[in-house]
Amino acid sequence: MVFEHNCAQCNARINSVFSSIDQDGLKVLNEHKSCTTFKKGQVIFSENGLPLGLFCVHSGKIKLATTGPDGKEQILRLVKGGDILGYRALISGDRYHCNAIALEDSSVCVVDKNYFLKIALEDKKLCQAIFKKISDDLKTAEEHIVSLSQKNVRERVAEALLFFKATYGFEQDNQTLSVQLSREEIADFVGTSTESAIRLLSEFNNDKIIELTGKKIKILNPDKLTKTANLLY
């Protein structure tokens, strides 16, 4: 089923780099995009592929992951509605260095490559928003580097849970992470073995910091989790 979302009515757009575009602009943008849906697990684009357009997430959750030297997956970014996807390769004139895979059923629009590159340079507010988006992603990546370099696995697993919270938020109960990742995916984000991720999650579960129910993770004690993550704030 292919929904054709209209940019003018798109809720996700409000939080996106396209938030400042006016009604006329939205009409044109809408004519230069098409919509696709991806089932959970489906590949949106893959490593070494050539970017043909800019992906703009309408709804759903997507992971950006690359394959390490020994074939192990590394999750680099987590993406949600309103986020743009595949901009790095597009802007660099590069091939993708990541796979984009739907974590749940997702609805994604593709903006024509040349049109996007044109308006990105013409529309100052859009340009500014893209600058900010890349800069923020760079900051996030560099924080990940510090964490991987200097924290132990326990701290990193705790930090990851808080990161998932910051990215996707909670469900209605205000406690349960609204993203469901496998233990292996958590490990692939944290930079550890699946077994270690499992062990530490069980430990947090035993310590009543979190509550595990299948893939659902409820954060019972955010303060203790923050301390466990060795975060100051």
Partner DNA sequence: ATTAAAAGATGAGCAAAGTCATATTTTAAA
Partner DNA sequence: TTTAAAATATGACTTTGCTCATCTTTTAAT
Residues that bind a second copy (CB under 8 A): 66, 68-70, 72, 74, 76, 87-88, 91-94, 97-98, 120-121, 124, 127-128, 130-132, 134-139, 141-142, 144-146, 148-151, 155, 191, 230-232
Which is closer to DNA, CB of 30 or CB of 194? 194
Q: Which is nearer to a second copy, 199 or 227 (CB)?
A: 227
Residue number with CB closer to DNA (117 or 212): 212
Among 22, 172, 214, 232, binds DNA (CB under 7 A): 214
Draw the binding track, 106-145, toward DNA (x: CB under 7 A; -: no contact): ----------------------------------------
State which residue, 60 or 82, has the beta carbon closest to DNA.
60
User: SS3 string of the chain?
Assistant: CCCCCCHHHCCHHHHCCCCCCCHHHHHHHHHCEEEEEECCCCEEECCCCCCCEEEEEEECEEEEEEECCCCCEEEEEEEECCCEECHHHHHHCCCCCCEEEECCCEEEEEEEHHHHHHHHHHCHHHHHHHHHHHHHHHHHHHHHHHHHHHCCHHHHHHHHHHHHHHHHCECCCCCEECCCCCHHHHHHHHCCCHHHHHHHHHHHHHCCCEEEECCEEEECCHHHHHHHCCCCC
Stretch that binds DNA, among 21-29, 51-59, 151-159, 171-179 (CB under 7 A): 151-159
Instruction: Look at residues 47, 8, 45 and name the one whose alpha carbon lies nearest to residue 28.
Output: 8
**What x/- string results for residues 161 through 190 when contact with DNA is judged by CB under 7 A?**
---------------------xxx------
Which segment (21-29, 54-62, 121-129, 212-220) binds DNA by CB under 7 A? 212-220
Q: Closest distance between DNA and the C-beta of residue 194, in Å?
A: 6
